[in-house]
Structure 1
Amino acid sequence: MNEYPGQHLLRLTLLLQLESRARLAPAEELPYVMVNETSELFPYRQALLWRKEPASLIAASGVAGLEKNSPYALWAMPMMQHFSRDPRAELISAFGADDLPPELARDWHEWAPEFGLWVPLPTPSGGTHILAFFRETPWNEAEIHLLSYLTETYGYALALSEAAKPHKPWKERIQDRKRPFIIGGLVLAAAFFPVRQSVLAEAEVIPHQPNLVRAPLEGVVENFYVQPNEEVSAGQKLFSLDTTQLQSRLKVAEETRDIAQTEYLQMTQQALLDPTVKAKLAGLKSKWDQQAAEVDYVRTLLERCVVTANQAGVTVFDDPNDWLGRPVTQGEKILAVANPQTVELEIRLPMDDLIALKAGDEVLFFPNVAPHRPLPASLTYFSYRTSPTPAEVMAYRLKAGFSDTANLPRLGYHGTAKLYGTRRPFLLWLLRKPLRTARLWLPW
């Protein structure tokens, strides 16, 4: 390359100016000066400043800040790491795509010009920074010679900027870290802020102390005279049992009674003529009375086959078709008659979701038909043991009474109950299940 007279002097002047600028530049501006303003000494298209340990790209020419996850940075990082293991990496060396493995060389022409220059920045403790320049023309000896002087200045300037960080007053340091302190304090306060424990469980509105109607005797359900949720009055017929067997039994008992009566009357007439027959009259009279009692008993059973309501209320049972023709045993529950104005909430709390609860704790019931209008209640009963639910989940059975008696839900409503327990730090409430699991594996 031909140079006009005085160009050497100009380059020396630029070299001295760059050295002065590097020595006086603040630590945060020094990388920018090195990758951008070095172009005043010789032309190039791209420049990178790279640190060996820990491996990182510090600055790139033409940008204020290099995004570490950008495609260019993801290509440049492994490229710089690979050439740093080359024997020529200790000296200023020209390099290119031929010095890289195929997977890196394949993308070279997409991200960088053809000719690269590897420039280590020496320091007394050993160079840890590398400058890399890229352009379309080869590098000549004169440029490399000038760079050998500039690299010493750059290396010492970087070493001094890292060794002597500017001292800030403690107030400024606190001010710089004010936001992390505030965020940390808020997180710590939130972790230990006492919150009320709460848990969600399935719930159903059930009658409170209903009148249970049971089968009066063994038999088969023949007729139902009411429907589910129907209002009934005291004495109204509810259902009846099949009376076929009892009617047959009554006929047999009546015939047996009539025979015993006839025998007794005949023997009474004979006793008028034969005094020896009087001794048989007592036995015959006893047989007659026994059969009459049997007839009265069967008639009573027939009357009991028609079951009536003992009090007014609403019938609570499933589809009556499920009962028709079904044999029942004496005392088996068929239905219930409940007062719709006296209802309570039955809650099934899974064993895994158990929290500390006691009578009087607050409960909110969210019915499925109106989940936006929760109904307040208070806990009244807590079973001491678990039992399986229809979904085969072991759960505790709880009951709660509604606080607002003027706005009671309908019998049979389903929904979700939210139970509130004691106050605990938010962190313990959040980690209650992980801690319970960890406790199974720890020796304490």
Structure 2
Amino acid sequence: MLAVAWAALRRPTALSRWRRIRQRLHEAWPAAATRRRWRRRLLQKRTWRRFGGRCRRLWRAIPWRGAGRLLISPRRWPEAWRQGAAVLRRWVLGIWRQPRRRYTALLMVFLLFPVRLTVLAPGELVPARPAVIRAPLEGSVDKFFVAPNSRVQAGDALFQLDLTTLQSRLEVARQGLATAEAEYRQAAQQAVFEAKSKAQLALLQGRVAERRTEAEYLESQLTRAQVSSPLAGVVLMDDPAEWVGKPVAAGERILTVADEHDVEVEAWIGLGDGIVLPEDAAVTLYLNAAPLSPVAARLRYYAHEAVARPDGSFAYRLRARLEPGEAAPRVGMKGTAKIKGSWVTLSYWVLRRPLAILRQAVGL
């Protein structure tokens, strides 16, 4: 009887089982610091880590087990790619078999095709760093010592203004200087005997200095009336016969001397074609005299403000330097410049001008 009663007392009940489970869970439950560390690791459950250079490895705080290993197994990826390619192939073939969808897809691909945004503008070859020769003083052109497109060296005479007026004024100034000097000498001799003449010496001396300064100024003007070339190059000018005898103002442009090897492209972009150009954009000039021999250049200067042209229109000035090794044609040759902008879609390239014209017509 005692053995049976003891066995009945030791039989586990539901409450005793729950107490033992709770005790084991309490013993196995990690500490607070361990739980915080695990929480940070869970936030970084899967991430890519860099291991030197461009090599990357897939890293996870929790070890890879079971199905996770199948995910990173290199033998499973080719099969996955083949299955994905098969699905994509079936989807594309399904669209291709339907004419409407096929034409729509082709149209979308065609409209999204990337092209370079280009504009055309009138251009010409101009000297890059010319020496602009202007009239040094007011007068009229007497004669030229050079012809258009002739070569000159530094210091060679280019043209001369009319010297008749200057020579007359210089002769009058010299006579006035001689008269003032004679009056001064006479007053200096009389000052030895008369105190009144001695008082006028300072006044007469100032008059002599004034006449001498005027004569020296006219002599310098007479020297400046003959203009020389500041550098070696080619003379660029119109018909000299149109300038001979023509009155010119001081600072008026007469001709230009430029180095024939230092040439660049100048183009005028209309207001409707004023697109944003990247730095160092490509520019190609197709000359009217040689359309099969284009001139390649790179953008150097692009005006931010439109200026008025001789024909009354407004345009943006563009300057482009020639590519290294490019043969420089003759200065003054004209043609059509093709300026390449950024990459855009074909739809934008086709609809850019019509949309601009429509916007101007509608007034939006």
Q: Name the TM-score, length of structure 1 as normaliser.
A: 0.58
Give the direction of change, closer, same or farther, for the CA distance of 1:286–1:382 in structure 2 (3 Å limit). same
Say if 2:128 is the partner of 1:208.
yes
Matches within 5 A, 1:15-414: 184-414=104-334
Give the direction of change, closer, same or farther, for the CA distance of 1:404–1:289 in structure 2 (3 Å limit). same
Structure 2 letter corresponding to 1:193: F
1:53-77 superposed Cα distances (whole Å, 9 cap, x missing partner): xxxxxxxxxxxxxxxxxxxxxxxxx
Shift of residue 239, structure 1, vs aligned partner: 0.8
Shift of residue 283, structure 1, vs aligned partner: 1.4
Shift of residue 179, structure 1, vs aligned partner: 6.7
Unaligned runs of 5+ residues in structure 2 are: 1-92
Shift of residue 178, structure 1, vs aligned partner: 6.6
Give the direction of change, closer, same or farther, for the CA distance of 1:276–1:353 in structure 2 (3 Å limit). closer
How many Å separate the matches in 2 of 1:371 and 1:326? Answer: 39
Structure 1 letter corresponding to 2:134: R
**Secondary structure of 1:293 counterpart:** helix
How many Å separate the matches in 2 of 1:187 and 1:391? Answer: 42
**Secondary structure of 1:369 counterpart:** coil
How many Å separate the matches in 1 of 2:96 and 2:167? Answer: 99
Shift of residue 405, structure 1, vs aligned partner: 4.2
1:101-143 superposed Cα distances (whole Å, 9 cap, x missing partner): xxxxxxxxxxxxxxxxxxxxxxxxxxxxxxxxxxxxxxxxxxx
Q: Name the TM-score, length of structure 2 as normaliser.
A: 0.70
Structure 1 letter corresponding to 2:165: Q
Give the direction of change, closer, same or farther, for the CA distance of 1:179–1:340 in structure 2 (3 Å limit). same
**Retained in 2: the 8 A contact 1:376–1:404?**
no
**Secondary structure of 2:191 counterpart:** helix
Match of 1:169 in 2: none
Shift of residue 411, structure 1, vs aligned partner: 0.8
Give the fraction of aligned pairs with identical amino acids, expressed as a percent.
39
Say if 2:334 is the partner of 1:436.
no
Higher Cα radius of gyration = 1
Unaligned runs of 5+ residues in structure 1 are: 1-172
Structure 2 letter corresponding to 1:303: T
How many Å separate the matches in 2 of 1:238 and 1:270? Answer: 53
Structure 1 letter corresponding to 2:236: V
**Secondary structure of 1:385 counterpart:** coil
Match of 1:73 in 2: none
**Retained in 1: the 8 A contact 2:278–2:342?**
no
Q: Which has the higher contact order (CA 8 A, sep 6+)?
A: 2
Structure 2 letter corresponding to 1:353: D
**Secondary structure of 1:206 counterpart:** strand
How many Å separate the matches in 2 of 1:266 and 1:297? Answer: 26
1:85-115 superposed Cα distances (whole Å, 9 cap, x missing partner): xxxxxxxxxxxxxxxxxxxxxxxxxxxxxxx
Pairwise CA RMSD? 2.5
**Retained in 2: the 8 A contact 1:208–1:342?**
yes
**Secondary structure of 2:327 counterpart:** coil
Shift of residue 311, structure 1, vs aligned partner: 1.2
Match of 1:421 in 2: 341
Aligned residues: 274
Structure 2 letter corresponding to 1:245: T
Structure 2 letter corresponding to 1:344: E
Give the direction of change, closer, same or farther, for the CA distance of 1:176–1:249 in structure 2 (3 Å limit). closer
Q: Which moved more, 1:185-194 or 1:285-294?
A: 185-194
